[in-house]
Chains A and B, each alone.
Chain A
Amino acid sequence: MSSEEKLLEEVTGSEYKYGFYTDIESDKVPAGLSEDVIRIISAKKKEPQWMLDWRLDAFHKFNQMTEPDWANVTYQKPDLQAISFYSAPVQKKKLGSLDEVDPELLKTFEKLGISVDEQKRLTNVAIDVVVDSVSVATTFKKTLAEKGIIFCPISEAIQEHPELVKKYLGTVVPKTDNYYAALNSAVFTDGSFCYIPKGVKCPMELSTYFRINEGGTGQFERTLLIADEESYVSYLEGCTAPSRDENQLHAAVVELIAMDGAEIKYSTVQNWYPGDANGKGGVFNFVTKRGICEKNAKISWTQVETGSAVTWKYPSCILKGENSIGEFYSVAVTNNHQQADTGTKMIHLGKNTKSTIISKGICAGKSNGSYRGLVKIGPRAENARNFSQCDSLLMGSSCGSHTFPYIETQNKSAKVEHEATTSKIGEDQIFYCNQRGIGTEEAIALIVNGYCKDVLNQLPMEFAVEAQKLLAISLEGSVG
């Protein structure tokens, strides 16, 4: 092994900081997937009949589907009969205020560095926290309600805003979209719901924090975000899980609806447990995220992906209305034995639609990272434009990076550009930094952050700082 490789192995061999488990009582259904389990989940949530019927329909469709294997990842398929599909921290009664949250849970949030205490919060962010299968805290509800904004757990939305949920659920990601979307439709337990009324600019960042706590469970959250005409919202999600030897399944569905002239900015910092240095354990992150843009609307996906053992995720935009805009900014880091197959789909249907894709992959250790992206221009999408840039940065010589761009155009006036580069952090760059007094770990963080700048710049300020730190941690072993 050359000195450079040794050095890289040393600095990239890090530990997972969020791997603790909180000992709280939880209400968990027995493992296994069946119609009965779905009925139990629905009953626990006191759901109306239409919701149960919707789930059962999804379950029947799911039963006829098989797990896809086209992604550039290898893993042992999860045994769905061994997973508990519902687990909730036990709470004596419905929470009236944050003071009533289990103190153990509050401690968990503190360890995670998220404050749910509204009084103490300095930054302007409303948070919904989902632990295992249920939402446990939502902040700033009142402030938002004054503007007519609904921000609540989806289970609550099913009870209190059934007309909205019924109208939009499954319209962007249909039940039969793919194997894991169908599974999610059948068993989803919680997630966030958000509605921004016509013409309203949401005054604060909305944020959901997801945490898998219990062993032997999966997390199947569902997020539905509706931005009515000429409205604006910026939404953030973050996620962590305890370190466990087993693989945990996370199969989420996110649907965004941007009506005429609306703008949605959706940012994710994904930091699920990635497994240990030998590839044992870790979260399987199989997620379907998609948004639809009506006339003059804009959806912007920004993701910083550092966690999970296996990631399979393509946040996409359907550019249905004319002049609509789709953007995808991504940093995906894989280290040790992590595998990621991630990218986006930009489906141009309307006239003068525009899309931008900036993807930055970073591979270290023995990991494998793939970019997979589709740019599709439909026959009526006159003057559609796309620009894609897919870069990969390799650290060491035991990792792999792959790019799979798909371009399909059915309209002659379309302009599609694709640029790609692959580079390595050189010994030269590190020595140059060292010579100026910058230690190797700090140097790698500096170089990586420089490389990701175009994506990090898209994140809201306070999140960008977090993301920079997270990148440094996932690559450097500077665990506090």
Chain B
Amino acid sequence: MLKINDLHASIEGNEILKGINLEIKPGEVHAIMGPNGSGKSTLSSVVAGREEYEVSKGTIDFEGEDLLDLDPEERAHKGIFLSFQYPIEIPGVSVTNFLKTAINETRKAKGEEAMPANIMLKKMREKMALLEMDKGFLSRSLNEGFSGGEKKRNEIFQMAMLEPKLAILDETDSGLDIDALRIVANGVNKLKSKDNAVLLITHYQRLLDYIVPDYVHVLYNGRIVKSGGKDLALQLEEKGYDWIKEEMAI
């Protein structure tokens, strides 16, 4: 589904990603862990198409298509979703209106008719129940005055509505208390299928207790320096990152 090959990317002249290789197949859950400043969020931004980052080398292939040629919205239309670490506030635009626009723009890009309002509403109710969200949520201004936990829950709600093929969850666990974490993780698990994939970006093992990854990768200084199964995350939790640095002699 996603194939990243020797990806180099920089911002304002500083190279952050220095040769990333990663392959994600349908049905898989991957986790990327790593210390602060290792390039985790840069990787998610580059895949989503944020323009400040300059890709100097390498390719990103998504279902046989070169993603780097596409605008961010075109990547979204192809089924790439990024749950933001810091979701953005848009005053005066309700959650409903935002989602309606997002869904219908995506459908338009695919040459489909707009989703009938009653079907959309039904779907919204269903997904809100899944994430144990309050009805009043829909008419609030997008992310404005939301608590940290509400913002993250809203990201996963949007993911549930947009049904992406590849969901990148950038530190979705930060700012969540343990109950909210359980609800959000439960939502993600229910949305998982053999046809879609999830890329989790996180500092901590605790999210991985709920969403169990097939693969764990350690990102350090712009490269994936170690990959393994879910046990790797436990090792990291226990020993920190230093042993990897030693092992890799970096």
Task: Give the CA-CA distance A440 to B75 in the complex, in Å.
Answer: 14
Chain B, Cβ-Cβ closest to A426: B88
* Interface: A449 (CB within 8 A): yes
Contact check: which of B50, B97, B109 meets A431 at CB < 8 Å? B50
Q: Interface residues of B, CB < 8 Å — how many?
A: 32
User: Shortest Cβ distance from A330 into chain B, in angstroms?
Assistant: 15
Which B residues from 77 to 107 make CB contacts under 8 A with A?
77, 81-82, 84, 87-88, 90-93, 97-98, 101-103, 105-106
Q: Which residues of B contact A164 (CB under 8 A)?
A: none
A436-B76, A442-B101 known; A450-B141 Cβ under 8 A: yes
CB atoms of A450 and B49 under 8 A apart: no
CB atoms of A450 and B76 under 8 A apart: no
A442-B105, A451-B92, A453-B92 known; A434-B87 Cβ under 8 A: no
CB atoms of B90 and A438 under 8 A apart: no
Task: Give the CA-CA distance A449 to B94 in the complex, in Å.
Answer: 11
Task: Give the CA-CA distance A103 to B49 in the complex, in Å.
Answer: 52
CB atoms of A434 and B98 under 8 A apart: no
Which A residues from 25 to 45 make CB contacts under 8 A with B?
none
* Interface: B71 (CB within 8 A): yes
Which A residues from 421 to 464 make CB contacts under 8 A with B?
426-429, 431-440, 442, 446-447, 449-454
CB atoms of B77 and A437 under 8 A apart: yes
CB atoms of A428 and B88 under 8 A apart: yes
A436-B162, A438-B101 known; A431-B91 Cβ under 8 A: no
* Interface: A3 (CB within 8 A): yes
CB atoms of A431 and B72 under 8 A apart: yes
Q: Which residues of B contact A432 (CB under 8 A)?
A: 84, 87-88, 90
CB atoms of A449 and B73 under 8 A apart: no
* Interface: B48 (CB within 8 A): yes
Which A residues from 395 to 428 make CB contacts under 8 A with B?
426-428
Interface residues as binary, B178-191 with A (CB distance below 8 Å gives 1, 0 otherwise) = 00000000000000
Task: Give the CA-CA distance A433 to B84 in the complex, in Å.
Answer: 12
Q: Which residues of A contact B237 (CB under 8 A)?
A: none
Contact check: which of A437, A440, A450 meets B91 at CB < 8 Å? A450
Chain B, Cβ-Cβ closest to A7: B51
CB atoms of A439 and B92 under 8 A apart: no
User: Shortest Cβ distance from A439 into chain B, in angstroms?
Assistant: 5
Q: Which residues of B contact A447 (CB under 8 A)?
A: 90, 93
Task: Give the CA-CA distance A450 to B49 in the complex, in Å.
Answer: 25
CB atoms of B51 and A437 under 8 A apart: no
CB atoms of A437 and B87 under 8 A apart: no
Contact check: which of B72, B90, B91, B92 meets A435 at CB < 8 Å? B72
Q: Which residues of B contact A434 (CB under 8 A)?
A: 49, 71-73, 76
Task: Give the CA-CA distance A447 to B142 in the complex, in Å.
Answer: 11
User: Shortest Cβ distance from B146 into chain A, in angstroms?
Assistant: 14
Task: Give the CA-CA distance A428 to B77 in the complex, in Å.
Answer: 19
CB atoms of A437 and B88 under 8 A apart: no
A436-B98, A436-B158, A437-B106 known; A446-B76 Cβ under 8 A: no
User: Shortest Cβ distance from B69 into chain A, in angstroms?
Assistant: 15
Task: Give the CA-CA distance A449 to B93 in the complex, in Å.
Answer: 8
CB atoms of A451 and B91 under 8 A apart: yes
Q: Interface residues of A, CB < 8 Å — how many?
A: 24
Task: Give the CA-CA distance A454 to B91 in the complex, in Å.
Answer: 11
Q: Which residues of B contact A452 (CB under 8 A)?
A: 92
User: Shortest Cβ distance from A5 into chain B, in angstroms?
Assistant: 13
Task: Give the CA-CA distance A437 to B105 in the complex, in Å.
Answer: 6
Chain B, Cβ-Cβ closest to A421: B91
* Interface: B112 (CB within 8 A): no
Q: Which residues of A contact B109 (CB under 8 A)?
A: 437
Q: Which residues of B contact A436 (CB under 8 A)?
A: 76, 98, 102, 158, 162
User: Shortest Cβ distance from A333 into chain B, in angstroms?
Assistant: 16
Of A3, A447, A449, A450, chain B has the most CB atoms within 10 Å of the CB of A450
A428-B88, A442-B101, A450-B141 known; A435-B93 Cβ under 8 A: no
Task: Give the CA-CA distance A451 to B97 in the complex, in Å.
Answer: 13
* Interface: B52 (CB within 8 A): yes
Task: Give the CA-CA distance A476 to B197 in the complex, in Å.
Answer: 36
Chain A, Cβ-Cβ closest to B88: A432
A436-B162, A438-B101 known; A446-B90 Cβ under 8 A: yes
Which B residues from 161 to 220 make CB contacts under 8 A with A?
162
User: Shortest Cβ distance from A296 into chain B, in angstroms?
Assistant: 32
CB atoms of B102 and A437 under 8 A apart: yes
CB atoms of B72 and A446 under 8 A apart: no
A435-B76, A439-B73, A442-B101 known; A3-B52 Cβ under 8 A: yes
Task: Give the CA-CA distance A450 to B103 in the complex, in Å.
Answer: 18
Interface residues as binary, B220-239 with A (CB distance below 8 Å gives 1, 0 otherwise) = 00000000000000000000
Q: Which residues of B contact A426 (CB under 8 A)?
A: 88
A450-B90, A450-B141, A451-B91 known; A435-B106 Cβ under 8 A: no
CB atoms of B92 and A450 under 8 A apart: yes
Task: Give the CA-CA distance A427 to B90 in the complex, in Å.
Answer: 12
Q: Which residues of A contact B52 (CB under 8 A)?
A: 3, 427
User: Shortest Cβ distance from A114 into chain B, in angstroms?
Assistant: 27
Of B81, B98, B109, B158, chain A has the most CB atoms within 10 Å of the CB of B98
User: Shortest Cβ distance from A351 into chain B, in angstroms?
Assistant: 35
User: Shortest Cβ distance from B170 into chain A, in angstroms?
Assistant: 11
Chain A, Cβ-Cβ closest to B158: A436
Q: Which residues of B contact A446 (CB under 8 A)?
A: 90, 93, 97-98, 101
User: Shortest Cβ distance from A437 into chain B, in angstroms?
Assistant: 4
Q: Which residues of A contact B73 (CB under 8 A)?
A: 433-435, 437-440
Interface residues as binary, A357-383 with B (CB distance below 8 Å gives 1, 0 otherwise) = 000000000000000000000000000
Task: Give the CA-CA distance A449 to B90 in the complex, in Å.
Answer: 10
Chain B, Cβ-Cβ closest to A440: B73
Q: Which residues of B contact A453 (CB under 8 A)?
A: 92
Q: Which residues of A contact B102 (CB under 8 A)?
A: 433, 436-438
CB atoms of A450 and B93 under 8 A apart: yes
Residue contacts A-B, CB under 8 angstroms, 24 given:
A3-B51, A426-B88, A429-B90, A433-B90, A433-B98, A434-B71, A434-B72, A435-B49, A435-B75, A435-B81, A436-B98, A436-B162, A437-B102, A437-B105, A437-B162, A439-B71, A439-B105, A440-B73, A442-B105, A447-B93, A450-B90, A450-B141, A451-B91, A452-B92
Instruction: Report B's interface with A, CB cutoff 8 A.
Output: 48-52, 71-73, 75-77, 81-82, 84, 87-88, 90-93, 97-98, 101-103, 105-106, 109, 141-142, 158, 162
Nearest 3 pairs between A and B by C-beta?
Answer: A450-B92, A450-B93, A434-B72
